[in-house]
Structure 1
Amino acid sequence: MEAGTAGRMMKPIFTAEAVHKSFNDPKNGVSLRALGGLSLEIRQGEFVSIIGPSGSGKTTLLYLLAGFLRPDSGKLLYRGEEVRGPSPERTVIFQEYGLFPWKTAAGNVEFPLKARCMPAAARRAEALKYISMVHLDGFADKYPHQLSGGMKQRVGIARALACDPKVVLMDEPFAALDNITRELLQEEILRLWSGLGKTFVLVTHHLEEAIFMSRRIILMSSRPGRVKEVVDIDLPEPRTADIKTHPRFVELKSRLTRSLREEVEKSIAAGIEPELVKDKGVIRVSR
């Protein structure tokens, strides 16, 4: 573990106790149980990934942590207080870049800073600081259509960090990227996590990605989603791409593959489809 991370990973920043969440399928009106009595704890300052079969409630859980959704029952606490809605302390990085096409990279990063009533010059300086942090020096005045997919996601990361959140929630942020760009951004995120002292929560289908980036992995059961297993990822530090050939990495991957396969087979046997996540009044499919 990096120096300085041990002390910050003691207190829970999120606590969930017996959380239930259901949605009505708009096709037939049938209620679908996304989460069924989920309990977990996420520690302050840790990097944790959430994995599980399609339809296990991973994105539903992330949206609950973000405050976009409320539990039907159970308790969900953030720093000891009930999560009642979104907060600037918890930011989300989505798979879709979500950049304003009419704004430059710097303009996109500046946008959330306007809510702080910062003067224009201060906003610009802050935006350039975070653009530099994600290695986009020289691209501040480029528009999204002039940037590659990896660059766009870097802008999204810079924008999220510029809000100075305590928690960064990530929903499949690298899914649309090629393998090399994906690996480079994984390393970039780990560098930022190590240096900033924030809590990072990643939802991913990519098992190697979860093992490489996480210090703990939360494995979800088939629907209705519960925590099947929590696995400590005790790999040597610092993490670099060649760690994927390390015997412990191979061992962890084999163990998690077996556990994940069991849940996938249960989902297939039950005919479970991806859960329906209600996002701002719109039902969308989540995997």
Structure 2
Amino acid sequence: MPSGGQQQTVSILDELVIEPKVQLLDEPFSALDYEMTPFMREQLRRIFMKTRTTMILASHELDEAIELADKVVLLTRRPTKVAEIADVDLPWPRNLDVITGERFIELKPHCLDRFWHEVKN
């Protein structure tokens, strides 16, 4: 019997095989273990670089969102509204140098500040 992470991995790859115009990914890595998550992020980046498929990724992991997105939509509490759309002006491909670089590190506190501002209000 495959694990939940293995099932989720197969599900993600299965959806991408059909080459959709838009791919909706809702917490796609949530059931994966620590070792499989970066591997699957890399696979998703590779697929994106090859197909340029538009992907909409819902995530509670800010690092993941910044790593994989061109824009991060930060939402308010209920009633949910868009608090900000943060441009992720990092170059592609998003390799280790990019995701550990100065600009990546600058983007995270900006998004966290906006998030905490919304939580406090």
Task: Give the structure-1-normalised TM-score.
Answer: 0.40
The code of the aligned residue for 1:189 comes to L
Deviations 1:179-212 (A, max 9, x none): 2211111111111111112110000000000000
Distance in 1 between the 2:39 and 2:113 partners? Answer: 28
Q: Residues of 2 paired with 1:174 and 1:237: CA distance?
A: 21
Code of the aligned partner of 2:25: M
Point out the structure with max Rg over C-alpha: 1
Q: Distance in 2 between matches of 1:164 and 1:244?
A: 26
Give, in whole Å, the separation in 2 of the partners of 1:248 and 1:164: 31
Of 53, 59, 69, which aligns to 1:204?
A: 59
Which of 19, 36, 44 is equivalent to 1:164?
A: 19
**Given that residues 73 and 86 in structure 2 are in contact (C-alpha distance below 8 angstroms), is that contact kept between their aligned partners in structure 1?**
yes
Structure 2: gaps of 5 or more residues = none
Residue-by-residue CA offset, 1:129-175 (whole Å, 9 max, x unaligned): xxxxxxxxxxxxxxxx1x45443222102321234321110111111
Within 5 Å, give how 1:93-242 maps onto structure 2. Answer: 145=1, 147-242=2-97
Question: For 1:151 and 1:242, how far apart are their aligned partners in 2?
Answer: 28
- How has the CA–CA distance of structure 1 residues 224 and 165 changed in structure 2, closer, same or farther, with 3 Å as cutoff? same
- Give the number of aligned pairs: 121
Q: Please give the alpha-carbon distance, in whole angstroms, between the structure 2 residues aligned to 1:264 and 1:233.
A: 22
Counterpart amino acid of 2:75? M
SS at match of 1:238: coil
- The percent of aligned pairs where both chains have the same amino acid is 39
| Higher mean C-alpha deviation, range 151-160 or range 195-204 | 151-160
TM-score, scaled to structure 2: 0.88
Q: Choose the corresponding residue for 1:244, options 99, 115, 120.
A: 99
Superposition pairs for residues 8-87 of structure 1, below 5 Å?
none
Select the structure with the greater relative contact order (CA < 8 A; seq sep ≥ 6).
Answer: 1
Q: Give how far 1:242 is off.
A: 4.2
Structure 1 vs Structure 2 CA RMSD: 1.7
What does the per-residue CA deviation read over 1:109-145, in whole Å, with 9 as the maximum and x for residues that have no partner?
xxxxxxxxxxxxxxxxxxxxxxxxxxxxxxxxxxxx1
Q: Which has the higher helix share?
A: 2
Once residues 148 and 240 of structure 1 are traced to their aligned partners in structure 2, the CA distance between those partners, rounded to angstroms, is: 28
Q: Which of the two has greater strand per residue?
A: 1
